[in-house]
Amino acid sequence: MPYSVNIMPNLDKPALLGPHVVTLVYDGLCTFEFGVAYEIFGLSRPEMGADWYRFSACAIENGPLRAAGGLTVQVDHGLEVIADADLIVVPGWRGIGTVVPAPLVDALQAASRRGVRIMSLCSGVAVLAAAGLLAGRKATTHWRYVDSIAARYPDITVDADVLYVDEDSVLTAAGSAAAIDLCLHVVRRDFGPDVANSVARRLVVPPHREGGQAQYIETPVLRQREGARLGPLLEWMRERLQEEQPIAALAAQAGMSIRTFQRRFEATTGMSPGEWLLSERLRRARDLLERQAAISLDDVAVASGFGSLATMRHHFRERLAVSPSDYRKRFTVLRPDGSALSPLR
């Protein structure tokens, strides 16, 4: 017999007067993102007083509705509750290319015209995009969906290097865990840093994470291999990351003119030789930081080809929005003897 979850108001709560947060529920619900929204906006927090958020779940279609994890969900409210919303939360959508129901699009557009804040978590950006709420705006989503959203909606500026984007009345979060960052940001905006810090302590999470999602993306796979020349050359370059690799020397190693080499290299890797070398040096440094807990940051910089810690720190900040030392703390798990376990990913 399937288990059923009935999402309804907690009648034991005192009457609240704060902003009304309405979180969407649909068939195929992403339970993690819904849970984040409820945990931050819907959980009873009597210490916050009567001005704390009111929370409602809103079914966008007739139930019972299936949810991730084998749950069946029944919701007391339908789209009519959006009329009283101050903030609408869209959890991760059931598919980037899945059609968004017209009644939901109409309800979100009407809410937007009233000045209601509308927020997407992870792939929920697809719903905001389909409703036309992101046209001409900046937005983010999980890095896996960036190319798809950008291709479908060229009028949206999609930023893959941030955890969330606040466009005042429209807000978007990157991956699922970035939903926590964005929700805490909203609390900080509505009630100030002290209240946001208090909520973060109760969640046992940092009140504000540094960096963007670039630090969580694995090295991209090559788009193609161009014959027998560039494959061995790339391995040759990887083995010599500590050395200077001028473009003329690389072209000679590949047996090509400089112009032909640059064109074919970019067609193969999607990057210029200089960009590719930088990405490989960052990859080497990340690997050393994750797996070699005893090696100093200066030695990591030399071994990965940056030459100096200052140069490595600059590129980590520029590309990953985090320092090498913070990256090591975030991704390394130590055994009791101080040696590194496999990295957290």
Residues 260 and 208 both lie in one domain? no
Count of the separate structural domains present in the chain: 2
Query: Is 265 contained in some domain?
Result: yes
Is residue 13 very low, low, confident or very high in pLDDT (cuts 50, 70, 90)? Answer: low
> Of the candidates 158, 187, 216, which is a domain's last residue?
216
In a domain, 337, yes or no: no
Which sign, positive or negative, has the C-alpha torsion 166, 168, 172, 178? positive
Residue 284 maps to which CATH number? 1.10.10.60
Domain membership flag for residue 317 = yes
| Residue 50 placed within a domain | yes
Residues 153 and 288 in one domain: no
The H-assigned helical ranges of 167-272 are 178-191, 193-203, 230-238, 247-254, 258-269
pLDDT value of position 327: 86
Domain boundary among 150, 185, 216: 216
Domain assignment present for residue 140? The answer is yes
Question: Which pLDDT belongs to residue 342?
Answer: 43
Give the whole-angstrom CA distance, residue 105 versus residue 120: 14
Tell me, what's the pLDDT at 186? 93
Taking the model in full, what pTM does it have?
A: 0.66
Does 313 share its domain with 281?
Answer: yes
The answer on 294 and 212 residing in a single domain is: no
Is the pLDDT score of 2 beyond 90? no
Q: Which pLDDT score, from 0 to 100, does residue 332 have?
A: 65
Burial class (CB in 10 A: 0-12, 13-18, 19+), 146: buried
Q: pLDDT for 89-143, tens place per residue?
A: 999 999 888 999 999 999 999 999 999 999 999 999 999 999 999 999 999 999 8
Please give the average per-residue pLDDT across 303-330, as a whole number: 90
Q: Is 338 inside a domain boundary?
A: no
Same domain, 62 and 189: yes
Share of the chain above pLDDT 70, in %: 86
Residues 93 and 195 in one domain: yes
Residues, the chain: 345
Termini Cα distance of the chain: 35
Predicted local distance difference test score (pLDDT) of residue 182: 93
pLDDT of 335 reads: 46
Residues 188 and 251 in one domain: no
pLDDT score of 40: 95
The model's pLDDT over 237-285, given as tens digits with 9 standing for 90+, comes to 999 999 999 999 999 998 899 999 998 888 887 789 999 999 899 989 9
pLDDT in tens, 53-81: 999 999 999 878 888 888 888 898 999 99
Over the stretch 174-207, which tens digit does the pLDDT of each residue have? 988 899 999 999 998 898 888 888 898 888 887 7
In a domain, 64, yes or no: yes
Residue 169 lies in a domain: yes
**Which one of 159, 193, 216 terminates a domain?**
216
pLDDT score of 229: 62
Q: Which domain holds residue 269?
A: 230-331
Residues 7 and 142 in one domain: yes
Tokens of 242: 């500590």
Average pLDDT of every residue of the chain: 85
Q: How far apart are CA 82 and CA 68, in angstroms?
A: 24
**Residues 210, 236: one domain?**
no
Phi, psi of 240, deg, nearest 5: -125, 35
Q: What pLDDT is attached to residue 135?
A: 95
Give the per-residue pLDDT at 6.
Answer: 60
Tell me: do 169 and 283 sit in the same domain: no
Inter-residue contact 122 to 147 (CB < 8 Å): no
Task: Dig out the tokens for 323 from the structure.
Answer: 């320092």
Q: Are residues 185 and 238 in the same domain?
A: no
